């Protein structure tokens, strides 16, 4: 377990769920109160406990568990983790609360969409009602010297939240997938995706005075005074235009994905060496965008 010290107050590590490296980053904010941002899937429990120990914290010293949203790769392990952290409470978007208390529908939906990858992630456990609460837009979690603010950022999911700490923001999946080696990010959407909301959330994130964008997939990205977010917006818009053209031409989702891979600079490189999670990710995003276009008719 290699722990990265991004700053005195922020540590992060590669969760490596089921041995898959470079896919899920877990962040730990160290202050008078300590917060874990994202939990990863159920199968990452042992590794996240290792990461917490590597950061020098005992399980009882974690006060907050703050996922950006509750898809399996972000909070599938939330119920498991909270059983190990006796003093921690989780905060989730109001629309996610009932699915955290009773994850049955989330699990069934995930199995339908992700197939064997859902089985590899593992089944979420329900969170006890006294261990989780809904967080409104703008609500602040006081960690001592730092205040973490919830910024509702729907689009990728209707229940997506970004966590803002001064000039750092934990962006979850609101700004796509970040590929350090390629120096760019590309959209990622599940089957239920709202493009208009996603772009509005992108604007909300851009309006912050931010130095670092902390991606879940994967790692810290310099914000470069809006340049990085502008790059993501360009991809989101280009992808949607390309998907729209495909629909108009009667193309199927696989053919549109092939065209995307051929036309978007460096996108094809994401298909190499990214493990089982990557396979089908872009196809899934094309389907998500087609779904949103269909819903506009």
Give the interface with Zn ion as residue ranges (CB under 5 A).
73, 173
Cβ of residue 175: shortest distance to Zn ion, in angstroms? 11
CB closer to Zn ion, 246 vs 284? 284
CB closer to Zn ion, 63 vs 173? 173
CB closer to Zn ion, 190 vs 246? 190
CB closer to Zn ion, 154 vs 246? 154
> Which of 36, 108, 114 has its CA nearest to residue 75?
36
Peptide bond into 218 cis (omega under 30): yes
Cβ of residue 172: shortest distance to Zn ion, in angstroms? 7
CB closer to Zn ion, 110 vs 146? 110
Strands (E), the chain: 3-5, 10-14, 25-29, 34-37, 62-66, 89-92, 132-134, 140-142, 147-152, 161-165, 168-172, 177-179, 184-186, 212-215, 219-222
Kindly state the DSSP code that residue 271 receives in the 8-state scheme: G
Cβ of residue 291: shortest distance to Zn ion, in angstroms? 17
Distances (CA, A) of 171 to 76, 178, 186, 212, 280: 18, 11, 14, 10, 22
Cβ of residue 156: shortest distance to Zn ion, in angstroms? 8
Which residues 6+ apart lie within 8 Å of 198 measured at CB? 154, 155, 156, 174, 187, 189, 236
Kindly state the DSSP code that residue 175 receives in the 8-state scheme: T
CB closer to Zn ion, 123 vs 173? 173
Cβ of residue 71: shortest distance to Zn ion, in angstroms? 6
Cβ of residue 217: shortest distance to Zn ion, in angstroms? 6
Q: Give the span between the Cα atoms of 198 and 54, in whole angstroms.
A: 35
> Which of 155, 146, 106 has its CA nearest to residue 126?
106
Q: Give the span between the Cα atoms of 82 and 127, in whole angstroms.
A: 7
Cβ of residue 105: shortest distance to Zn ion, in angstroms? 19
CB closer to Zn ion, 31 vs 173? 173
Q: Which two tokens stand for residue 67?
A: 């996922």
């Amino acid at each position: 377990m290699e722990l990265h010290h991004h700053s005195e107050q922020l540590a992060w590590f590669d969760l490596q769920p089921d041995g898959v490296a470079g896919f899920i980053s877990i962040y730990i904010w160290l202050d008078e109160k300590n917060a874990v941002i994202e939990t990863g899937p159920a199968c990452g429990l042992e590794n996240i406990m290792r990461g917490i120990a590597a950061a020098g914290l005992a399980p009882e010293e974690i006060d907050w568990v703050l996922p950006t949203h509750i898809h399996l790769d972000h909070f599938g392990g939330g119920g498991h983790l909270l059983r190990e952290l006796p003093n921690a409470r989780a905060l989730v978007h109001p629309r996610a609360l009932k699915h955290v208390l009773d994850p049955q529908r989330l699990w069934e939906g995930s199995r339908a969409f992700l197939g064997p990858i859902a089985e590899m992630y593992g089944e979420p456990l329900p969170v006890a009602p006294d261990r989780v609460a809904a967080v409104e837009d703008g609500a602040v979690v006081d960690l001592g010297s730092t205040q973490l603010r919830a910024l509702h950022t729907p689009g990728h999911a209707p229940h997506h939240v970004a966590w803002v700490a001064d000039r750092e923001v934990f962006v979850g999946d609101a700004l796509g997938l970040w590929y350090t080696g390629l120096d760019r990010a590309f959209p990622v959407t599940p089957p239920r995706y709202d493009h208009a909301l996603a772009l509005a959330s992108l604007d909300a994130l851009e309006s912050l005075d931010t130095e670092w964008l902390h991606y879940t997939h994967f790692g810290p990205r310099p914000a470069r005074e809006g340049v990085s977010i502008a790059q993501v917006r360009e991809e989101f818009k280009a992808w949607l235009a390309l998907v729209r053209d495909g629909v108009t031409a009667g193309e199927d989702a696989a053919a549109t994905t092939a065209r995307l891979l051929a036309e978007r600079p460096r996108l094809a490189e994401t298909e190499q060496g990214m493990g089982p999670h990557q396979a089908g990710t872009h196809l899934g995003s094309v389907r998500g965008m087609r779904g949103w276009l269909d819903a506009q008719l």
